Amino acid sequence: MMEAEALSKRFGTIEAAREVSFMARDGEITGLLGANGAGKSTCLRMLYGVLTPDSGRASVDGIDILGETSKARAHLGVLPHAAGLYNNLSARENIEYFGALHGMRRRTLRPRIAELTQALGMEEFIERRAKGFSQGQRIKVALARALVHNPGNVVLDEPTNGLDVMAIRNLREMLLALKAQGRCVLFSSHVMQEVAALCDRVVIIGRGRVLADATVTEIRGRRGASSLEEAFLQVLGNSEGVS
Amino acid sequence: MRTLFCVFRKEFLDNLRDRRTLLSAIIFGPLFGPMLFGLMISRMLEQSAVESDEPLKITISGSGYAPGLTRFLEAQGAQLTKKEFTELQARAAVRAGHETPVIVMVPKEYPQLFSASSPAPVLLFADSADSQTRKIAERARQFLNAYGTMIAQQRLQIRGVNPTLAVPVAVNEADVATPSGRAVVVLGFMTYFVLFAVLMGGLYLAIDSTAGERERGSLEALLSLPVSRSALVGGKILATCAYMCISLALSLAAFVVAFRFVPLERFGMSANLGFGTALLCFLICLPFVPLGATLMTLVASFTRTYREAQTYLSMVLLIPTLPIAFASIYSLKTKGPLMFIPSLSQHLLMTSVLKDESLPVLDILVSGAASIGLAGLLFVMTARHWRRETMLG
């Protein structure tokens, strides 16, 4: 479970987040939907504690991310917007490195990586160096790296960017699998169809503020719109540029 | 501590597989200096050999017209080759380098003018554009002038005139360049290359572990891990240090080998770079390693891309030159207060070691402590920068 409570953040004159509050529950996929520059990444970054909010509080499983950063992060797997790999290391070594930094010992790390390799279908390239990996392969390794310590909560910032149709489909299955395991999944996107297809709850963000926070059916019902697309557009106002 | 070691191991391994890092740490950094050094020394040797040791080789044409001159040149130790040329042939031969670099030609009117005590012509063919043979031509000219002076004095004496009347001014030239003075230039060169190699060894790792991490997009994932940022950057700096130590050791080893092949004694320098001296130099330079590593990591941490980092760090590479240039301009000696200045202190200490001068242990300790202290300060700054959220870029 992850919770944002009235998070505000300013960069100079730009108000990137204004009193943002939402909750991502266990066993659900929560989508953070918004146009480019709406403040999605800023919110997520405050949630996993690489940005300090000017005011407000973020917590993971009830643990304050700023007060007990390390403890909160142990419950959290992060796939940032830029999820680059170390090209000179093999897929396994990339994952091992993050596992070791999480404090995992070799004897727990080995079976865990074997498990992830199988779950994500990485058998073919697990021993290969990351140089020359396809986007799809990269995202699998990056996801495995984020999940290596078996966190109850997963944050993904625009994970489908740059992926082809097959890879997006794969990723979707992976996220559904995480949900089925009872984890709390929170991901951001500017692609409406993606959010509609996958999420239990949608938090719509525009100009640094939460515009709507509800289940997909609720949004549709409340607006009385015939299609989901129409409902979203009503919430956002036409100028937000969500595709 | 575990984080520190974990990061160190990963960075070390990662860069071991990186051709660019290896090239600069193992090939370019450590070997560039000794190679240039060897080249420079052997060139100096070549020139000095031409100056004095080898007998002067001259081809002489028309020696039959001037037996006195020919005997004189032979008596001076010149190796004469007698061969007849026309003027055109002589020009062509010198220019093409077929014969000796210098040809002396005695024309057939020489004997007549010589016995009439008129100026008798002697032609000297040499190529002044060729820097290697310029010295040879100079020596041949000196020989001919000496012969001329000798004959002039004899003629004056025969006519009852004191020959010294023809020498109104006696110029005595004194070359004050001492062998050790020349050595300072050469040794300053060498110590610079050792310090340069140290920095080169860690250059790419410092870039790769900071700007590189940001450019390839792995930084944010790393920063969102439950680890201390100081340990993170500490591990990176430690790995940089490791490569720099390798570079330092290789560089000194290369210099030991280079010194073996260069007979420095001929310049009046002591070729005092054996295994023991190299080890002492290694210890003297060791405190410079963490200083260079933290400095490069700090500078690279502020940059966004590989390219930007390279630009700024190439300026950092110049830092050790400044004090060394300063030292050679003012010919500074190893003195207490100077030991507080990193790179200058290492340069002075190494120069002293190479010149076989005695070293106060206190100087070595002060030099080391100053460098390590500064490194510690820079590390605190680096760690603080890594804790800022602007690190994300």
CB B207 within 8 A of CB B300: yes
Which one of A79, A81, A98 has the shortest CB-CB distance to B225?
Answer: A98
- Domain end point (choices A127, A150, A173): A150
Same domain, yes or no: A24 and A143: no
SS3 at position B162? coil
Same domain, yes or no: A156 and A241: yes
pLDDT at A243: 47
pLDDT at B176: 63
Same domain, yes or no: A183 and A137: no
Residues of A in contact with B218 (CB under 8 A): 82-86
pLDDT at A170: 86
Give the CA count within 13 Å in the CB-facing half-sphere of B244.
31
Which one of A50, A79, A146 has the shortest CB-CB distance to B392?
Answer: A50
B166-176 burial code (b ≥16 CB/10 A, e <16): eeeeeeeeeee
Q: Is B223 on the interface with A (CB under 8 A)?
A: yes
Give the CA count within 13 Å in the CB-facing half-sphere of A213.
11
Same domain, yes or no: A62 and A166: yes
CA distance A22 to chain B (A): 21
Mean pLDDT estimate for chain B? 85
Which one of A50, A83, A100 has the shortest CB-CB distance to B217?
Answer: A83
Q: Do B7 and A101 make contact, defined as CB atoms within 8 angstroms?
A: yes
- Show the tokens assigned to B377: 């300060």
Report the chain B residue with the minimal C-alpha distance to residue A156.
B221
How many structural domains is chain A composed of? 2
Sign of CA dihedral B151, B157, B159, B165: positive
Same domain, yes or no: A109 and A4: no
Q: Is B389 on the interface with A (CB under 8 A)?
A: yes
Residues of B in contact with A100 (CB under 8 A): 2, 6
Q: Do B224 and A50 make contact, defined as CB atoms within 8 angstroms?
A: yes
- Domain end point (choices A150, A169, A189): A150
Which one of B2, B18, B217 has the shortest CB-CB distance to A103?
Answer: B2
Which one of A78, A84, A102 has the shortest CB-CB distance to B218?
Answer: A84
In angstroms, rounded to a whole number, what is the distance separating the alpha carbons of residues B109 and B115? Answer: 11
Residues of B in contact with A73 (CB under 8 A): 224-226
Beta strands across the sheet bearing A153-157:
A76-79, A153-157, A184-189, A29-33, A201-206, A209-215
B268: left (phi over 0), alpha (psi -120 to 50) or beta: left
In angstroms, rounded to a whole number, what is the distance separating the alpha carbons of residues B189 and B364? Answer: 21
Other CB atoms closer than 10 Å to residue A65's CB: what's the count? 25
Which one of B2, B18, B389 has the shortest CB-CB distance to A50?
Answer: B389
Q: What is the percentage of chain B residues whose pLDDT exceeds 70?
A: 89
Same domain, yes or no: A157 and A238: yes
Paired residues of A24 in beta bridges: A2
Residues of A in contact with B15 (CB under 8 A): 88
Same domain, yes or no: A97 and A205: no
Question: B67-76 pLDDT, tens per residue?
Answer: 888 988 888 8
Same domain, yes or no: A97 and A216: no
Going along chain B from its start, the domains and CATH numbers come out as: 2-46+179-392 (no CATH), 55-166 (3.40.1710.10)
Which one of B6, B226, B389 has the shortest CB-CB distance to A70?
Answer: B226
Q: Do A52 and B389 make contact, defined as CB atoms within 8 angstroms?
A: yes
CA distance B297 to chain A (A): 19
Residues of A in contact with B220 (CB under 8 A): 50, 78, 80-82
CA distance B208 to chain A (A): 10
Q: Do B224 and A73 make contact, defined as CB atoms within 8 angstroms?
A: yes
CB A86 within 8 A of CB B215: no
Report the chain B residue with the minimal C-alpha distance to residue A79.
B221
The residue type found at A193 is: Q
In angstroms, rounded to a whole number, what is the distance separating the alpha carbons of residues A41 and A32? Answer: 9
Per residue of chain B (393 residues), what is the pLDDT tens digit?
889 999 999 999 999 898 877 887 788 778 877 787 777 777 766 666 555 567 788 888 888 898 888 988 888 888 888 888 888 888 888 888 766 778 889 998 899 988 888 889 999 888 887 767 777 888 888 888 889 888 988 888 888 888 888 888 888 877 665 555 556 566 667 888 888 889 989 999 999 999 999 999 999 999 999 999 999 999 999 999 999 999 999 999 888 887 777 666 665 555 567 788 889 999 999 999 999 999 999 999 999 899 999 999 988 888 887 877 777 777 666 677 888 888 889 988 888 887 777 788 899 999 999 999 999 999 999 999 999 988 887
Element (H, E) at A153: strand A153-157
Paired residues of A79 in beta bridges: A156
CATH number at residue A36: 3.40.50.300
Same domain, yes or no: A57 and A127: no
CA distance A242 to chain B (A): 25
Element (H, E) at B257: helix B229-261
Angle between helices A91-101 and A106-120 (to 10 degrees): 130
Same domain, yes or no: A131 and A176: no
Interface of A with B (CB under 8 A): 45, 48-52, 69-74, 76, 78-89, 93, 97-98, 100-103, 129, 142, 145-146
Q: Do A71 and B220 make contact, defined as CB atoms within 8 angstroms?
A: no
Range of the domain at A213: 1-75+152-243
Same domain, yes or no: A93 and A140: yes
Same domain, yes or no: A243 and A188: yes
Give the helix ranges, DSSP H, for A48-207: 69-73, 91-101, 106-120, 135-147, 165-180, 192-198
Compute mean pLDDT per 10 residues along chain A, 243 residues long, and list them: 94 91 94 88 93 94 92 94 91 96 94 93 94 91 94 93 84 92 93 85 90 82 68 64 49
- Domain end point (choices A150, A175, A195): A150
Residues of A in contact with B221 (CB under 8 A): 78-80, 83-84, 98, 142, 145-146
